[in-house]
Amino acid sequence: MPFYYGFDIYYIILILPALLFGLWAQSQVNSSFNKYSRVGTMRGMTGAQAAEYILNQNGIYDVEVRHISGNLTDNFNPKNKTINLSDSVYNSTSIAAVGVAAHEAGHAVQHAVNYKPIRIREMIIPVTQIGSWLYLPIILVGFIFSSQYLVNLGILLFSTLAIFQLVTLPVEFNASNRAIATLEGSGILYGEEITGAKKVLRAAALTYVAALVSSLAQLLRLVLIFGGRRKD
Active-site positions read 104
Burial class (CB in 10 A: 0-12, 13-18, 19+), 82: middle
Q: H or E element: which one contains 110?
A: helix 95-112
Structural contact between residues 161 and 121, judged by C-beta atoms closer than 8 angstroms: no
Beta-carbon contacts of residue 37 (< 8 Å; ≥ 6 apart): 88, 92, 94, 95, 96, 97
Structural contact between residues 214 and 18, judged by C-beta atoms closer than 8 angstroms: yes
Q: How many C-beta neighbours within 10 Å does residue 112 have?
A: 14
Q: Which of 24, 5, 17 shows the shortest CA–CA distance to 221? A: 17
Secondary structure of 18-65 in HEC code, one letter for each residue? HHHHHHHHHHHHHHHHHHHCCCECCCCCCHHHHHHHHHHHCCCCCCEE
Structural contact between residues 168 and 213, judged by C-beta atoms closer than 8 angstroms: no
CA dist., res. 232 & res. 227, Å (int): 15
Q: How many C-beta neighbours within 10 Å does residue 43 have?
A: 15
